[in-house]
């Protein structure tokens, strides 16, 4: 079974990986659409992996009577970082798609739990990346329910651009709004919040980078356990920045909206949009830094172009004191 691909079949009329958006309103529509999708899979002897919020999982469990071909997975263990989601789906699909058995996923993202605009943007990017990650997998498909009860047309349009198909009245309809371009239309990063700390770095400055981040994180109120995780992520990103970003860069740190941020800027370019999204293999040389950062931080934003270089932002939540 093909598990991962970094390429995108941009010239195909329909990708081999069937990725569908399912807008619904209310529990009744959620059940009718997802159960129809599941029963279609069972009739074709396909396995099903369900990753939806707990309340929606309870609705489906009550209707399926412990169907052995349907597996429910707990997405809460992944934490808030959408950068972990693609790797998790790879593991889930491989685990339940024994041999060449087709697997269908049902993945509903908790959009209303997005912490801020940056988090929401990365959630959308995850949806778009699924098309790249599974582009050559003819045995996997995924339905993405979206609760359209609040009638947020702008959010629905942006999600629609990430899905080649729309699930409508039990049919798989080609989505004319789907963006088949190679480049994802990123939102521009907002400027650092004033006041921020800044440090230029080059070869030999790794201890100074770690010391600067440790002091700023402590001053911002980041807990000790999170500071230790952040130190590992900072070491990995700074090392990559010096090694692959022209030998020098700029570090900025600041606190904003109950979040501590570290930003690394350099002249390098990350060509692989899947970098850091999937678990490195034991035979792989390099490529572990971004993956570790995604596992250790609450959010990782990456912007990289040939002409402007690379910016990587690491986000860590700051607990709010009561009273």
Query: CA-CA distances (angstroms) from residue 13 to 10, 57, 137, 149?
Result: 8, 33, 15, 31
CA distance 22 to 163: 10
Angle at alpha carbon of residue 273, lines to 173 and 107, rounded to 5°? 40
Is residue 254 within 8 Å of residue 196, measured between CB atoms?
yes
Is residue 42 within 8 Å of residue 194, measured between CB atoms?
no
pTM of the model: 0.88
Nearest to 160 by CA among 175, 182, 141: 175
Is residue 105 within 8 Å of residue 62, measured between CB atoms?
no
pLDDT of residue 48: 96
Q: 18-174 and 197-317 share one CATH topology?
A: no
pLDDT tens for the chain, 323 residues: list them: 333 333 333 444 444 788 999 999 999 999 999 999 999 999 999 999 999 999 999 999 999 988 999 999 988 888 889 999 999 998 888 888 766 789 999 999 877 777 788 888 898 898 888 888 888 777 889 999 998 876 567 777 888 888 999 998 888 889 888 876 666 778 889 899 889 999 999 999 999 999 999 999 999 999 999 999 999 999 999 999 999 999 999 999 999 989 999 999 999 999 988 899 988 877 766 678 999 999 999 999 999 999 999 999 999 999 987 65
Give the domain ranges of the chain. 18-174, 197-317
Is residue 137 within 8 Å of residue 3, measured between CB atoms?
yes
What's the fold here for domain 18-174? Rossmann fold (3.40.50)
CATH architecture classification, 197-317: 2-Layer Sandwich (3.30)
Would strands 140-147 and 165-168 be described as parallel, antiparallel, or unpaired?
A: unpaired
CA distance 112 to 115: 8
pLDDT of residue 11: 41
pLDDT of residue 215: 97
pLDDT of residue 181: 60
């Amino acid at each position: 079974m093909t598990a991962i691909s970094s390429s995108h079949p941009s010239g195909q009329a329909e990708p081999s990986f069937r990725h569908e958006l399912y807008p619904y309103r209310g529990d009744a529509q959620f059940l009718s659409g997802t159960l129809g999708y599941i029963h279609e899979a069972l009739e074709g002897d396909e396995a099903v992996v369900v990753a939806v919020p707990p309340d929606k999982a309870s609705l489906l469990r009550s209707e399926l009577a412990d169907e052995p071909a349907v597996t429910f997975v707990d997405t809460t263990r992944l934490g808030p970082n959408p950068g972990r989601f693609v790797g998790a789906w790879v593991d889930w699909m491989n685990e339940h798609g024994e041999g060449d058995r087709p697997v269908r996923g049902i993945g509903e993202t908790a959009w209303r739990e997005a912490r801020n605009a940056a988090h929401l943007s990365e959630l959308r990017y995850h949806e778009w990346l699924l098309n790249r990650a599974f582009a050559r997998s003819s045995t996997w498909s995924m339905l993405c329910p979206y609760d359209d009860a609040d009638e947020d047309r702008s959010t629905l349009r942006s999600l629609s651009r990430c899905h080649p198909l729309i699930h409508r009245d039990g049919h798989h309809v080609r989505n004319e709004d789907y963006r088949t371009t190679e480049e994802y239309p990123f939102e521009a990063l907002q400027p650092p919040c004033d006041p921020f700390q800044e440090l230029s770095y080059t070869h030999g400055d790794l201890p100074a980078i770690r010391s600067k981040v440790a002091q700023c994180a402590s001053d911002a109120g980041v807990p000790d356990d999170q500071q230790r995780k952040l130190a590992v992520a900072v070491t990995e990103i700074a090392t990559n920045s010096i090694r692959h970003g022209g030998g020098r860069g700029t570090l900025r740190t600041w606190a904003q909206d109950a979040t501590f941020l570290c930003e690394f800027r350099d002249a390098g370019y990350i060509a692989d949009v899947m970098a850091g999204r999937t678990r490195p293999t034991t035979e792989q040389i390099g490529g572990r830094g971004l993956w570790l950062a995604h596992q250790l931080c609450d959010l990782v934003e990456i912007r990289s172009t040939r002409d402007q270089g690379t910016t990587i932002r690491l986000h860590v939540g700051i607990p709010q004191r009561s009273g």
